[in-house]
Structure 1
């Protein structure tokens, strides 16, 4: 069995996974269900329990289409959801009104057992910049009604966009009360930036609610974990409010995964790849993603582009699947030679090239990177440390790539770059420089970091080292460690980010307040 270092070397050989490992994985892949989209037989099913127990969702809209999602699961906390081993026809409807008296699009699709009887219906031919209602029907069962919308045409400059972004919703550590507040804001869109589920065994991370079973590894395990999370009524309700754009971080698969290897020692590489294939398939099954994201074994195309007319262009990134191994054994470290090595990457060469092309061709007034880990270089000083230490799992672990990206945006004069981030279970506002340690360098972009929905429990308003943190890091403009989300209001002239925090999430009745608000003026980098 290869250890972590040997596996990294094997995967890096010949520019990627070694031929031996790939051939061995291909032989082992017989244990992974085929991701088929059609079956020759399909029949109606009579349901004793609600097949729409996991609700409905929509996502990845463009100006004329949107993805509608549901999954048939009358017994959601079982590996197959209580469904038979054959395809089931599901009818869908899109209407101009909530009463469905003006149905504008409808049809029938197949929910197949290969994809856990999930439905990813791409509805075409819709009006740009328009709200719709949708529902599914199967047998005599009817789903909840969802609301969705299309984006404005790419040549139109809208007056305003309001969206929320969030991340990190550990089921064991808190309630999803933040979604109740978010729903009352009626945003146009939601961006979810990773850690939709946590893979840990029951009771490892908290006692507010409990995961089911051991640490998840099989496809059935991942399906049950997603179903447990999706059974939460506040999360289901927010999905039905508006379309979501989603990307993952590490806990959708394995904590701090990088370079195709686990943080755990002595992990068999073939078992690791099979587990990743299981995780990726379950993620696709449970999210409103387009068919282009259908996994290919342990690989899945998730980075993509979206635009809200000419107001905002979004590059939705994947900083987890293609990254190199964390330097300095993934310990908080100074920005030393290992952290600044030019070969370190969070994006990988192909995604990095795609991102640069997107930034060059964008016609957006605001150019937004929706991604996972913090780009601002925030150093922490221990009691006996003379140097600042930085997280190697975040962008400081690829400091040269980070600096080159910011330099690219500066030199190409990319208009109004904004970075949206999750992961860190705390709120941050960071002015980004090519080298964040040099406070006299010009600001290139602004980063807004959203705290967690529930991960970490209630949190605190200010950490004990708050003042020292701001004094040591000239780019950090705000820090807060409560739970919540960020609500963004975007116009051609201004970007406003409101930080909404919950007073507590460990028992029902948490109250939401606007903790702080920050503005970026178009054409002027840095927050006001």
Structure 2
């Protein structure tokens, strides 16, 4: 870092300007950039970097760099207005934001068959260091991104600022929460699913009407998914978050279709035939890979994609990124909130046998201070019935009780030092202690779950008294609830993990501020949550227990 330049100023410059400085320093393309055909040169008279840049899956010696060329992101054929020819794309990695100290550079090919996406996997860099990167095609230079390698496997590093997010429905609001997260200068960002939504314009509405519209029909074809991803990637706030730090991504359901399970589509699916649904999955996964900073190990094969993986952050943390859709048994009892005996069937799994074994083996081999599960749906038990019946969500781990018990027992028996589950999906902030036996409030606490609200999905929501929700009264291990939009920012150190629940006043208005709603601390070797801050809530109106339960169930059972 240049003397006198603070990390705040350096990163703020990236977020607010995109930093296309130093264009003349990029090398000529050489033989790879021989004079292009007239149609190619004419096509790129405009800027092809309309979708921004991204990085992901950091390792001690490298990471993935991503971009995708698009002249017209909303083109109906999903190819971004690009001619169907390949383009050489130069890339650079530097240790400074002005690219005066370039450490790696090269040329990749943006293939028309892959929607002109580029994935560059780098090796041989220094562990635990920040790097800047950018791309060039002809005279056009991309915005710069900031990324980093993970610490050396034997090092704890200097602590980790990690944010996690989920559920960004383009129509329901502005993506301001992404920009606010970027402004918090995280070292790593996890996206836990529902990065984009499949619905056609007007199919999924919020009170007061949608702020903006989806382009195109419901996504079923490869062209449709490509177009939808491009529409989302065109958002400048999302681009700012991608450019601010490396990402670890996993999908949930809306990247394909609401509430799908393995080869089983949604009940009222546009692709009810199993063969048609597998074709839809193949299209969705190809577009997902093309638009995410993923390694070659995640390259899809037809309707299958390898998305569960383990990323180590030195000795400080293991991130076990899970797939709770592709291998799960179908939701029991017709989905929804049910009193369902089948939910406890020991044969049922939300991860599938192979992934369960992989995860438990990872627990046994772990020497990390923190083992973090990055996954999609609510892990802790949430009974919404104060009576003798147990009424829970069949789309969450409550619908796969034996699977949850096997995973929990797996980390307990392996002696995992600190187990933390990170979750998205439910469009509200939650925090929970994880128990050996949820039906016995006095049973041992064996971990903690942090649940982030949505970026926009569900609209503004409303502030609420976190102690008033009936779910917290019925389930004493549930510690916190808030129904506004936002994200969670964590700071992971050897001695503790701090979780800041950030909320926005509105997503219907642009550039809303974000503020701290609550803070929890998880101390090393002390499983469970300790609350250290709670902002007083704004009592707009009083809701009955019945209102709160109904809203939660309606929000989570089926959208729309």
TM-score by length of 2: 0.85
CA distance in 1, matches of 2:418, 2:239: 34
Where do residues 369-388 of structure 1 align in structure 2 (5 Å cutoff)?
369-381=373-385, 387-388=389-390
CA spacing shift, 1:143–1:159, aligned 2, 3 Å: closer
- The aligned residue for residue 161 of structure 1 is 160
Where do residues 36-51 of structure 1 align in structure 2 (5 Å cutoff)?
44=36, 45-46=40-41, 47-51=44-48
Where do residues 64-213 of structure 1 align in structure 2 (5 Å cutoff)?
64-78=61-75, 79-206=78-205, 207-213=210-216
- The aligned residue for residue 549 of structure 2 is none
Deviates more, 1:172-181 or 1:41-50: 41-50
Residue 289 (structure 2) pairs with residue 284 (structure 1): yes
Residue 319 (structure 2) pairs with residue 314 (structure 1): yes
Q: Tell me the CA shift for residue 174 of structure 1.
A: 1.1
Where do residues 265-276 of structure 1 align in structure 2 (5 Å cutoff)?
265=268, 267-276=272-281
CA distance in 2, matches of 1:279, 1:406: 31
CA distance in 2, matches of 1:199, 1:120: 24
Post-superposition Cα deviations, 1:360-384, rounded to whole Å, max 9, x if no partner, equal 11111001100000101111138xx
Q: Tell me the CA shift for residue 433 of structure 1.
A: 1.1
Where do residues 513-524 of structure 1 align in structure 2 (5 Å cutoff)?
513-524=515-526
5+ unaligned residues in a row in structure 2: which ranges? 1-31, 531-560
- The aligned residue for residue 54 of structure 1 is 51
Counterpart among 238, 248, 251 of residue 248 in structure 1: 251
Post-superposition Cα deviations, 1:448-499, rounded to whole Å, max 9, x if no partner, equal 0000000011111227993422110021011111100000011111111010
Classify the secondary structure of the residue corresponding to 1:248. coil
User: Is residue 51–residue 68 contact of structure 2 (8 Å, CA) maintained in 1?
Assistant: yes
Where do residues 437-452 of structure 1 align in structure 2 (5 Å cutoff)?
437-452=439-454
Post-superposition Cα deviations, 1:147-198, rounded to whole Å, max 9, x if no partner, equal 1100001111223111100000000111111122111210100000000000
Q: Tell me the CA shift for residue 386 of structure 1.
A: 5.4
Classify the secondary structure of the residue corresponding to 1:321. coil
Post-superposition Cα deviations, 1:12-39, rounded to whole Å, max 9, x if no partner, equal xxxxxxxxxxxxxxxxxxxxxxxxxxxx
Classify the secondary structure of the residue corresponding to 2:518. strand
Aligned residues: 486
User: Is residue 429–residue 483 contact of structure 2 (8 Å, CA) maintained in 1?
Assistant: yes
Classify the secondary structure of the residue corresponding to 2:237. helix
- The aligned residue for residue 347 of structure 2 is 343
- The aligned residue for residue 486 of structure 2 is 484
Q: Tell me the CA shift for residue 84 of structure 1.
A: 2.1
CA distance in 2, matches of 1:318, 1:42: 43
User: Is residue 333–residue 390 contact of structure 1 (8 Å, CA) maintained in 2?
Assistant: yes
Classify the secondary structure of the residue corresponding to 2:319. strand
Classify the secondary structure of the residue corresponding to 2:356. helix
CA spacing shift, 1:187–1:117, aligned 2, 3 Å: same
Classify the secondary structure of the residue corresponding to 1:121. strand
Classify the secondary structure of the residue corresponding to 1:209. coil
CA spacing shift, 1:172–1:155, aligned 2, 3 Å: same
Classify the secondary structure of the residue corresponding to 2:48. coil
Counterpart among 227, 231, 239 of residue 228 in structure 1: 231
CA distance in 2, matches of 1:148, 1:43: 32
User: Is residue 459–residue 482 contact of structure 1 (8 Å, CA) maintained in 2?
Assistant: yes
TM-score by length of 1: 0.90
5+ unaligned residues in a row in structure 1: which ranges? 1-39
- The aligned residue for residue 536 of structure 2 is none
User: Is residue 436–residue 474 contact of structure 1 (8 Å, CA) maintained in 2?
Assistant: no
